Chains A and B, each alone.
Chain A
């Protein structure tokens, strides 16, 4: 066999291996075994499996569920499957100040443990951003959110304790 033909066979072989590998990754359902995070409904239906191990829970911060205590830096909120008010959700307790992006209805991934009482104790809170990038709306100035917040100009404020 000439070197040229050998090289062409090598190319064919390598391409076949690459194609097979890619097909395996794309269609081989390895995603089922390597789940980056569980959704609240998955966690609730597999509560026994979830306990006593560090897992990730991902979902949306349920509107109206944020309770932030600055004095003790305790943050409690519910992570829901989606932003609908009646979707399944899990109570999360976190002991750190969340990233500034944290708000109601934003996607979050929390890392921690789920205990018998149905509370997820998070030691790592991550916020995931959507793929949308938008200019501020008329009259908004992102560099001065503190001021606009004080004027009550936005709806995405923290829920004050005792608010309905």
Chain B
């Protein structure tokens, strides 16, 4: 019994030492999330500005 518990604690220490290779769990990564949302929002804002800049002028303008 004692041997068993010590074995399991050793193996869990090893798991810790191996960082998380083989765990199959992704940790952190908020930077990637922020980049995705940030890029999308920025592109939407830029595109809105471009639509505004290209907006059709009043008819008097085009007939000058």
Contact = CB atoms under 8 A, between A and B. Distances in A.
Q: Do chains A and B touch in the complex (CB under 8 A)?
A: yes
Interface of A: 66, 68, 70, 75, 97-104, 106, 142-143, 145-146, 149-152, 154, 156-160, 163
Given A142-B27, A156-B24, A157-B23, A149 B17 contact: no
A66 B8 CA distance: 19
Interface residues of B, number: 17
B62 interface: no
Contacts of A70: 17-19, 21
A3 B56 CA distance: 30
A104 to B, nearest CB: 7
Nearest to B16: A150
Contact of B22 (A142, A143, A150, A156): A156
Contacts of A145: 20, 23, 25, 27
A106 B26 CA distance: 13
Interface string B2-34: 000000100110111111111111110000000
A158 B15 contact: yes
Nearest to A99: B26
Contacts of B25: 100-101, 103, 142, 145, 149, 154, 156
A145 B15 CA distance: 11
A149 B15 contact: yes
